[in-house]
Structure 1
């Protein structure tokens, strides 16, 4: 800027000083923490970051303070965890009519009176039919005895706006109560919010994850230990202050962790589970056991269904047993427990290592100083009893010392059941990866090229995918399209069935909205059963060795930039401080409120600052902000007479303007002439469906006939609008949604032809050519039921008998017993071979060591599935 001779440019040090001052004013403090292992790290605490959301008008409207009761489920606040399972004590305790009587606060567990004169006890606040409701007990008032009695135990719903008097009002109107108010008089609004903290032990922080808020990172401290520091803000009795820009007043709020999403190893650590390499590998239930146990009929069948659920109380008891065993000073007794239970807690391991050493040292010291043991007359059994008594006392002392130092459990969070199965690692990098490996490792080069060419010929219209993104290790793509190209002996019939079952399961898992939960869960269970059963048919040992078959995002670039620019002397501190500054900048430039030190009032940036974000799309993109407005269903881009929205129209070079018959061309018939005769029409780029899809020329869509309400499937041949005043033609709102269809290449014998298409480079075709599939000219297409986009609408529209999943085996138990019998033969043989090979490897290394040479490198089967994510 100085080089460009811009006036009044501050010095670099002045800029940094001002930035630090503004960050301090917004009250984002980067806090130092020390883990149980003694490692230091820094954190921007979530309470301070969430306080910014309350004070930001662009974000405040998205904060959900009450659970929502709906028929359809698309958000976590509508699912059972929040609407049925969360304790009433952990929900937002109060409500007020902020528009008309914001000073009158109604609290749960207190008596209130409705406008119709009835008395109720408030239980909880919910959103129902897009309005605020209270769930209440009806109460009968007996004036003679001045008593209130719950009429029935039935909970009913009333509109929150139907409330008239709160508990304080009733006291002031002369009612005498023998009990005090159940909630303290906070004097300001009180809310509880649920957050979803993500933690991950990422190598190099290069994973493509996207998060709204950043709290902490460290190369020295595990994510689990950082989570313990974050949990300081997530206590049920810890309230945080914020300015609510919607209510225009200060509030206090509590934070609760709703679920713990992560990859499988991180979730195993959060649940104190030993992980994939232990005998009892599942963080959800007690499934597993020794290899011989899994090969029994009962043990094998147990892997195909949920077992007895693990609970936090059970896990804590097991950890305490491990600590108790460590207090005896015997290492072997400690080592056996994680193997036998599958419970392994990193923090407990630190104390276990310390306490074993301390127990041995204390025992040695007590044995040498105890007066009873110095008595030479004390021998034999009597002497052993004294030593045992001393060991028992030491064990109790050390156990009580360790337990007093362990962290407490977070309320309302069950790490076993509240660690949702992540689709990326458990499906795409689990089941889909296994299927792809099982399929392509049997191909030669020619078959691989055939599949690649056929896959490249797929229609991506309706898949919401970028062009030229098919030929890569993209399991989501292969999951949706692979089934259409696995012919010409590219896989066995069983493997083809597995592709089909996996595609059906994948489409269900990516539903953006569940409209019939009972039916959805039933369909999901059948699809999961089919995938597991076909895997067992192909390889009975697969579910025994692959844990993932049993279980079934804007900050990343900024974070990586901060990491690169850090001097790496204090990376946790540097990254946290830099991102605190980013949070401050984002808050202020987007119109957020803050209270400067010493000021009684909250302030926000001026309009010239806030309007800069509104007008600068590049800044919005860099800050991760997106325009929340959605295109109106049925709208052509530019349907107005003046075509003010010119993006809708074809460019002047491509646009065609002609009469109705000319522009329809070969699709014209006398029956449709009445729609557009006598007008001049021009072409458009696309039209918006009712589902919000951008539908272009040649898109496959479902549409509803205006006259008959019959829903049909069709393909858009052209998108037209008149050049004159009428904008009502077309009834584009009749287009329901976009879907993907694939050509029937197998039955129509479509073949790859060398030189059929030009290679695209630098965004344009070149003179070079490549092989491509030439489709036979026909109207025979398959609806792609494996497509993820609009999968829920597709199944809702088509007849149920065409979309309902069908069980692969009618008698699953009989088949599982059959597979277990095969496994009892192959399992021991495989283990014996592995032991023999391990023995030979040790002997080779020993001979090489004795001879002074290097051990020969043994060849092993390369299997990318061996590393579990």
Structure 2
């Protein structure tokens, strides 16, 4: 800037000073921490980061402070955990009529007595929203004038609109002239003013729920792996549309040395229920108090195992959620093999803590063998406790050697020659107890300095402590590390089941079959699918290196292209994979019981399909069994896409850019500070408020005008603010493409479509028509010519068809183009039964071949594939046009060519608009059918075969292991013999050399003598 002669350019040091001051004013600070294992790292605490959400005018409208009932489930606060499981004391405790200036300072708290506008007394229980309007669950209360007491009727619970409340508990106390007494001790309800009122001091109080995430990430952009363990977090009170964007991911900490378990110890400090944090609420224009509580813990399966103190997916008890498991031989037994296909007895946090304490006891007793068996049989292996247990075993071994075994240092009483055997055993046992007592005292005093933080009479001084000695999250009654680590669909389904099916298929292919599949896949229609980049040649060339987005594409399209290149069993497995995948990616659920029922059937079908292809796979791949838990997760948390981790994986690129700017002397500190500066810039650029002097301010008018006029600034920050078009919006062709291309109605409509010209308000005689680019459907899809759509026909019924033309009057102006546009649709009818091969509806031309439809009657886009099996489509040689670098390139060779058969298949494996598609079709076309009526009998038969093949397999492994050992032993013996022979030969050579030297010296010695 100075070189360009820009005036008043500050120095680089001055710029950094101002930036640092602004970051501190926003309350963002990077705090040092020492983990229980002694590792150093730095953290940006989420309580300060989330305070920025309250003060951000763009973010604050997206925050939902109360759970919601009625309507489709599409957000966390609409699912069962938030609605039914969370104790009321962990929800937002108060409400006020913020829109009424006269009453916005009259705060109503739960567990308090209030009265309505009609004069009824009620006891407030929980704030909740119904269709966006705040309600409150209440018990009815009656006032007894004679005894001056309030009688609570706990059997009469109802829901009233919050705005109907007129007096709070303070107003009632003034009115009745005495303190309030209730006749029934309702749990946590006392009738008197809620103690939180004193804490609030007239400030509103809310509770936020958050979603912490952790994983190992490379800090390098290059292929060289530079291991870091990161912790990020998102605000679960934000809508999914907002929270699924990188802008809303909050970086907390990173460390090349401290594990996620260690970093969660520091993070859990922000989850303390007794601590409230202050923030400025730009919507209410006042200070508010808030708490943050963890809602769930998404991650990949190894990380979730660590978070829940589980041994991992390779253990015998491979599930972090239930107790299903055993050795390979045990899993082959009918009962356990069947149990692997369903949800087992759930793990309990209390049992996990007890198991960890037993492991400490075994370590203190010096039983490493029993300890390893306990790890294997319980499936519990805590990262923090493992550190201390290894030290206990080492110290115990050293102490036992010094006090019991080494004659030079052992207890002098053991050296008494007159000591009889029984007395010696008693003395040895007494010394062993002393050693164990010493070890227990040592471990509870660790880490160094931990006891000084506790009061002298604190009972925790004599106990193993969460955070210090084992997983800190095991002590939090606000989260269950077993139930609240839900099935994550990216790693469990796309990189789990889909990856296994793809590998099972392509490993048997010849080169010709691979090329044939690529050509077939290349002929797929991708219109109406979620945004995918279909690269079939890449898929088959790098078939062992595909990632999630590739498997997402294969899951939706593969089943249409498998004729004669895979076995029937594998074809059924692909069908089960696509059917279940489509259901898992539901964005909203309108009928939860029916959805969960269908989901369970499709999970069962998938696992049973695997039983035909490879019955042993359920025993060796934990991800297949873990899929059985997704039914419970959807019921508790909502649609599975809410807790998918793609947004965190995407944010890793931001972390890497910060990492490469660090000199790697203090990476945790440098990256945390850089991320803090990034949060400061995001907040200011979003016109957020911060404290300046005695009040609150935001960016100046110049910056405000800039960010309002240049919306791409937010896109660069990871937040797309693109405003959506209203349904029915029509995008015309560019003016340069319209000139000289206006058509008459007869020219625009081909002879095969006998449709009269519509009578539109601006139509002239004869009218001229222009083609349009696209029309926006009710579901916000851009539908173009050739797109398959569901629409409302002339009889106002839902129909399906393919858009043939988008035509608007040539003289229509921009404001009236939608009203003067008509969509020409070739109508099709769905078959009344599913296609016997694909389990999908077939589409055939309707008896009414074409219809004119208004733009606003287009409901949603869908994906349709040509029925190549019925049409007997095949390869053909010719010249084709392919797009490269946005240019048309001619290519000669073979290509899959569709025949003229006018029969198509509605793609039920497509992820885009899958919920709308299933609602539009009759239940008979969407209801899944179980593969087996008696699954247990099928699993029993499979287990019988597995027992036979398993014994043979283990015998072969033992024989191979024995042969390898013998071969290694022989090789080792041969090597030793060769070494000995070489040594002897070397010794002989040395003797011969010595003799030769002596003989050469003899004549000289003789002559001299």
* Pairwise same-fold verdict (TM > 0.5): yes
Summarize the Cα distance change of 1:146–1:49 in structure 2 as closer, same or farther, 3 Å threshold: same
Matching of residue 576 in structure 1 with residue 672 in structure 2: yes
3-state SS in 2 of match to 1:827: helix
Whether 2:377 is the aligned partner of 1:340: answer yes
Aligned ranges for residues 465-864 of structure 1 at < 5 Å? 465-471=531-537, 472=539, 473=546, 474-487=550-563, 489-552=564-627, 553=647, 555-596=651-692, 599-627=693-721, 629-637=723-731, 648-650=732-734, 652-653=736-737, 656-671=741-756, 674=759, 678=765, 679-705=767-793, 707-724=794-811, 727=817, 728-729=819-820, 730=822, 731-849=854-972
Q: CA deviation at 1:329?
A: 2.0
Tell whether 2:447 aligns with 1:406.
no
List structure 1 runs of 4+ shifted beyond 6 angstroms.
205-209, 368-372
- Residues 1:143 and 2:145 are matched in the alignment: yes
SS in 1 for 2:73: coil
Whole-Å separation in 2 of the counterparts to 1:6 and 1:168: 62
Structure 2 residue 204 is matched with structure 1 residue 193 = no
Equivalent-residue separation in structure 2 for 1:118 and 1:371 (angstroms) = 83
Shift of 1:358: 3.1
- The equivalent residue for 1:858 is none
SS of the residue corresponding to residue 652 of structure 1 reads helix
Alpha-carbon offset, residue 70 of structure 1: 2.6
Going from structure 1 to structure 2, the CA distance change for 1:198 and 1:670 (only over 3 Å counts) comes to closer
CA contact (8 A) 1:661 1:673 kept: no
Q: Residue 425 of structure 1: which of 467, 479, 491 is its match?
A: 491
SS, match of residue 485 in structure 2? coil
What's the counterpart of residue 385 of structure 1? 426
Contact 2:65 2:208 in 1 (8 A): yes
CA-based RMSD:
2.3
State whether residues 323 and 344 of structure 2, in contact with CA within 8 Å, keep that contact through their aligned partners in structure 1. Answer: yes
Q: Which moved more, 1:564-573 or 1:463-472?
A: 463-472
Cα shift at 1:411:
2.4
Shift of 1:83: 0.8
1:50-449 paired onto structure 2 within 5 Å? 50-100=50-100, 101-173=103-175, 174-178=177-181, 180-184=192-196, 185=198, 186-187=200-201, 188-204=203-219, 210=246, 212-363=249-400, 378-392=419-433, 394-395=435-436, 398-399=439-440, 401-402=443-444, 403-407=463-467, 408=472, 409-449=475-515
Per-residue CA deviations over 1:404-443 (Å, capped at 9, x if unaligned) read 4432512221111111111111111111111111111111
1:604-648 residue CA offsets vs partner (Å, 9 max, x unmatched): 1112113322222442222112116322111113xxxxxxxxxx4
Deviation at 1:671, TM superposition (A): 4.6
Q: Deviations over 1:295-336 (max 9, x none)?
A: 111010000110000011111111111111111122112111
> Residue 881 of structure 2: SS of its match in structure 1?
strand
In 2, distance between residues paired with 1:112 and 1:151?
A: 14
Distance 2:877 2:5 in 1: 60
Question: Could you tell me how far 1:668 is from its partner in structure 2?
Answer: 4.0
Higher mean C-alpha deviation, range 612-621 or range 457-466? 612-621
The structure whose Rg is larger is: 2
Contact 1:757/1:771 (CA < 8 Å) preserved in 2? Answer: no
C-alpha distance in structure 2 between counterparts of 1:369 and 1:840, whole Å: 45
* Shift, 1:141, TM fit: 1.3
Report how far residue 672 of structure 1 moved: 5.3
1:2 and 2:2 are equivalent in the alignment: yes
Cα 1:628/1:723, change in 2 over 3 Å: same
Q: Is the 8 A contact 1:660 1:677 kept in 2?
A: no
Q: Which runs of 5+ in 1 are unaligned?
A: 638-647, 854-869
SS of the equivalent of 2:83 reads helix
**Match among 525, 528, 533 for residue 459 of structure 1:** 525
* Partner Cα distance (2:40, 2:878) in 1: 61
Displacement of 1:848 in angstroms is 4.5
Deviation of residue 665 (structure 1)?
2.9
1:37-95 per-position Cα deviation (integer Å, ceiling 9, x unaligned): 22211111101100111111111111221111133111111111111111111111111
**Kept after mapping to 2: 8 A contact 1:137/1:151:** yes
Q: 1:535 to 1:397 in 2, by over 3 A?
A: same
CA shift digits 1:168-221 (9 cap, x unpaired): 111122143246423232211111000111111234477999562111111112
SS in 2 for 1:343: coil
State the 1:481 CA deviation.
Answer: 0.3
| C-alpha distance in 2 between matches for 1:171 and 1:628 | 52
Q: 1:189 to 1:32 in 2, by over 3 A?
A: same
| Contact 1:74 1:513 survives alignment (8 Å) | yes
Contact map agreement 1:209 1:556 (CA 8 A) in 2: no
Residue matched to 2:981: none
Deviation at 1:9, TM superposition (A): 1.7
* Residue 672 to residue 813, structure 1, CA distance change in 2 (3 Å): farther
Give the CA deviation at 1:140: 1.4
Q: Which runs of 5+ in 2 are unaligned?
A: 182-189, 222-229, 231-243, 445-462, 540-545, 628-646, 823-853, 977-1009
Q: 1:169/1:667 Cα in 2 relative to 1: closer, same or farther (>3 Å)?
A: farther
TM-score, L = length of structure 2: 0.80
Deviations 1:785-809 (A, max 9, x none): 0000111111111111111000011
Please list the CA deviations of residues 511-536 of structure 1 after superposition, one character each: whole Å capped at 9, or x if unmatched: 00111100000000000000100101
Question: Greater shift after overlay, 358-367 or 62-71?
Answer: 358-367
Give the direction of change, closer, same or farther, for the CA distance of 1:721–1:667 in structure 2 (3 Å limit). Answer: farther
Contact 2:219 2:660 in 1 (8 A): no
The residue number in structure 2 matching 1:643 is none
672-681 or 61-70: which moved more?
Answer: 672-681
What is the Cα deviation at residue 2 of structure 1? 2.2
Q: How far apart, CA to CA, are the structure 2 residues paired with 1:684 and 1:674?
A: 19
Contact 1:106 1:166 in 2 (8 A): yes
1:817-860 Cα shifts (integer Å, max 9, x gaps): 0000000001121122223223333444444455559xxxxxxx
* Worse-matched range after superposition: 29-38 or 656-665: 656-665
